[in-house]
Amino acid sequence: MSSSLLLSARHLQKQFGAVVAAHDLCVDIEVGQRVSLIGSNGAGKTTFVNMITGYLKPDQGSIHLGDTDITAMSPRQITRLGVARSFQIPQLYPALSVMDNMLVAMACHDNQLSMWRSASQPQHIERGVELLERFGLIQHRHRRVSELPGGVRKLLDIALALTGSPKLLLLDEPTSGVSAEEKFPMMETVMHALGNEPLTALFVEHDMDIVRRHADRVIAFYSGRIIADDAPEQALATDDVRRYVTGELRQEANHA
């Protein structure tokens, strides 16, 4: 495998009953890329992400992280190899403070969750503060997560994903549930924060303005298949994407 190739998925197949969620998917992701996964609901984006992270096993095909075959590995094993994920609904401890959530995440990476308070080393606290500052969350460090607005919880969930210094970060609809006024500044904060990390990022996104602004590559899904894989302007200009993802061709036909 090329030294610049981080992830290689070959001929992935996944079916749920009569529904084909992934059909012969072949994707190579290079180190440092910012890749947006687009498509309507049910197109296969989350199935692809779930297979990469071990939450689903493909019926056929293989997935390699670097030279390591991760196809049959558990989510925990894959995480330890350097793959991290944030979820559409933030996975947080609402009764704990923001900083305690950071320390729990780092204790998980160190296999010290049962004694995370006593095991919190100065370097953990330093790393937690650094991440909170980078994501603009340091003023919330002592607040309970249950008191935070939705956009702030989203940012915290992504910051938690970086506690283990991953090689590959997958963001599942990072701006979903965030108001129109908040989502652009929020995504700017996320991408600025990721710019300080030597990692590759894949993010599922429905807002094409955010895709154009922050992705250097777009992979479009439809009915379990990849219908475009190119730079944003080229991918978004294809007839299949304009028909099945953005709906532009249907809109033009309706106004003709």
Q: Is the pLDDT of residue 244 over 90?
A: yes
Q: Could you tell me the strand order of the sheet in which 168-172 lies?
A: 83-86, 168-172, 200-204, 34-38, 217-222, 225-230
Average pLDDT across the chain, whole number:
89
CA dist 243 and 251 (Å) reads 9
Instruction: Determine contact, residues 167/194, Cβ cutoff 8 Å.
Output: no
Per the listing, tokens 């610049």 go with: 4
Q: Read off the pLDDT of residues 118-133 as tens digits, 9 standing for 90 and up.
A: 555 777 888 899 999 9
CA dist 124 and 5 (Å) reads 31
Q: Read off the pLDDT of residues 44-92 as tens digits, 9 standing for 90 and up.
A: 999 999 999 999 999 999 999 999 999 999 999 999 999 999 888 888 9
Give the residue from 94, 139, 102 showing the smallest Cα distance to 120.
102
Q: Is the pLDDT of residue 234 over 90?
A: yes
With 0-12 CB in 10 A as exposed, 13-18 as middle and 19+ as buried, what is 146? exposed
DSSP H or E stretch at residue 134: helix 122-134
Domains (range + CATH), the chain: 5-255 (3.40.50.300)
